[in-house]
Amino acid sequence: MEIPIQSVAPVQIGQVENRLAGTGCTVLVCPQGMRAGLDVRGGGPASRESQLLNPLMAAQFIHAIVLGGGSAFGLGAANGVMRYLEERQIGLDVGVTKVPLVAQSDLFDLTVGDAFTRPDAEMGYQAARQAMENPNYRDGNYGAGCGATVGKIHGMATCMKSGIGSYAVKLGELRIGALVAVNALGDVFDWKTGKQVAGLLSDDRSGLRSTAEAMKSSVKRIENRFVENTTLAIVITNAEFRKDQLCKIAGMAHDGYARSIQPVHTTADGDSIYAVSAGAVEADLDLVGTLAAEVVSEAILRAVLSAESAYGFPSASSLSRSAEQ
- Give the Cβ contact number of residue 52 at 10 Å: 18
**Per-residue confidence (pLDDT) for residue 182, from 0 to 100:** 98
Bridge partners (DSSP) listed for residue 14? 27
Element at 250 (helix H, strand E): helix 243-260
Separation of CA 81 from chain center: 17
Quick check: 65 and 82 in contact, CB under 8 A? no
Which has the closest alpha carbon to 14: 106, 81, 87?
Answer: 81
- Give the Cβ contact number of residue 309 at 10 Å: 16
* 91 contacts: CB under 8 Å, gap ≥ 6: 63, 82, 85, 97, 98, 99, 100, 101
Please work out, in degrees rounded to the nearest 5, the angle formed at the alpha carbon of residue 42 by the alpha carbons of 41 and 43: 125
Strand order in the sheet with 196-198: 196-198, 187-189, 261-262
Q: Phi/psi class of residue 64: alpha, beta or left (left: φ > 0; alpha: ψ in -120 to 50)?
A: beta
For residue range 268-303, list pLDDT tens digits in order.
Answer: 888 999 999 999 999 999 999 999 999 999 999 999
* 29 contacts: CB under 8 Å, gap ≥ 6: 11, 12, 13, 14, 63, 64, 81, 85, 90, 128, 131, 132
C-alpha to C-alpha distances, 40 to 65, 88, 266, 270, nearest whole angstrom: 15, 31, 11, 7
Q: Phi/psi class of residue 308: alpha, beta or left (left: φ > 0; alpha: ψ in -120 to 50)?
A: beta
Q: Per-residue pLDDT for the chain (325 aa), expressed as one digit of tens each?
A: 999 999 998 999 999 999 999 999 999 999 999 999 999 998 888 899 999 999 999 999 999 999 999 999 999 999 999 999 999 999 999 999 999 999 999 999 999 999 999 999 999 999 999 999 999 999 999 999 999 999 999 899 999 999 999 999 999 999 999 999 999 999 999 999 999 999 999 988 888 999 989 888 777 666 555 567 899 999 999 999 999 999 999 999 999 999 999 999 988 888 999 999 999 999 999 999 999 999 999 999 999 999 999 999 999 988 876 655 5
Side chain identity, residue 191: W
Which has the closest alpha carbon to 181: 110, 227, 127, 233?
Answer: 233
Q: Phi/psi class of residue 172: alpha, beta or left (left: φ > 0; alpha: ψ in -120 to 50)?
A: left
CA gap 173, 162 in Å, rounded: 33
**Per-residue confidence (pLDDT) for residue 323, from 0 to 100:** 59
* 311 contacts: CB under 8 Å, gap ≥ 6: 22, 112, 113, 147, 161
**Per-residue confidence (pLDDT) for residue 318, from 0 to 100:** 86
For residue range 156-203, list pLDDT tens digits in order.
Answer: 999 999 999 999 999 999 999 999 999 999 999 999 999 999 999 998
Q: Could you check whether the bond before residue 263 is cis, i.e. omega within 30 degrees of 0?
A: yes
Confidence (pTM): 0.95
